Structure 1
């Protein structure tokens, strides 16, 4: 499979080709030719820590939030003095990232 993220990129690539290449990259990591050297080093030197970190990132950023989790997040934002509707809208807009939602509500 060609390395479209390095020297094989072309504007003529289709979305399908790009997605297939990314899928292949994600399915079989190449720590000897990494996109991120720090991650590759952890993968090679401390696989249990790499696996824990990967699980954490999946849980935090790639797992849909449960309704009870969403209700808890709304409650925490409302405890800061914001109304429920504004809290929900900001949280939804920022994919349930509480810090980003509060920053928006504060006008930051």
Structure 2
């Protein structure tokens, strides 16, 4: 059975210094076994400036079993699935210890963003790109951060500009982006289908 008193204490710990660390955890709904973690992209990386959401599910054996964590924000990284958001990190598997907390796990994930391990990948395609052509990897990771991990109006203006450059009228581009919740690919499909 999940130790809910400990989970409450961990939530307070995570959210105590959110202004400094940028890391926070909150319940998804009113169930303390399904949480949302938020981590900022580390400075000096292609993820800088992004805000990444982590879906957290606590198993019945928590804290003696590791939390199940995966990115709900799309991210381009060798150790994170670009499709499902699954994370390849030892402390989320066989190296978990009850001494670890949700915050230490999120800090470890943030550190993984800074220091990928392409020799132990979750996403082989990304790992190959990282190893063979780091500049292309960094540009792609930065683009994904801009597209999926930032909610700034600057991202919207860049999307508008790109779609206008493809030959679509600006008013149509703006309404398609608005109708698709800012999803550039969905907006492009709407524009192409008439």
TM-score range, shorter chain: 0.5 to 0.7
1:55 aligns with 2:142: yes
Aligned counterparts of 2:132 and 2:105: Cα–Cα separation in 1: 30
Q: 1:36 to 1:11 in 2, by over 3 A?
A: farther
Q: 1:36 to 1:5 in 2, by over 3 A?
A: farther
Larger helix share, 1 or 2: 1
Structure 1 unaligned runs (5+)? 81-86, 104-108
Instruction: With a CA cutoff of 8 Å and minimum separation of 6, indicate the structure with the bigger relative contact order.
Output: 2
Larger strand share, 1 or 2: 2
Q: Which residue of 2 aligns with 1:15?
A: 102
Offset, 1:9: 4.4
- For residues 74-93 of structure 1, the aligned pairs below 5 Å read 75-76=171-172
Q: Which has the larger radius of gyration?
A: 1
Indicate the larger mover: 7-16 or 53-62: 7-16
1:97 aligns with 2:183: yes
Q: 1:77 to 1:10 in 2, by over 3 A?
A: farther
Q: How many pairs are equivalent?
A: 90
- Under a length normalisation based on structure 1, what TM-score does the superposition of the two structures give? 0.56
Residues 3 and 9, structure 1, Cα contact 8 Å, conserved in 2:
yes
* Aligned structure 1 segments of 4 or more residues deviating by more than 6 angstroms: none
- What's the CA shift string for 1:12-49, capped at 9, x where partnerless? 85321221111121111111112222111111111121
Q: 1:29 to 1:15 in 2, by over 3 A?
A: same
Residues 118 and 128, structure 2, Cα contact 8 Å, conserved in 1:
yes
Residues 34 and 40, structure 1, Cα contact 8 Å, conserved in 2:
yes
Structural RMSD (CA): 3.8
- Under a length normalisation based on structure 2, what TM-score does the superposition of the two structures give? 0.35
Q: Which residue of 2 aligns with 1:3?
A: 90
Residues 3 and 21, structure 1, Cα contact 8 Å, conserved in 2:
no
Structure 2 unaligned runs (5+)? 1-88, 161-170
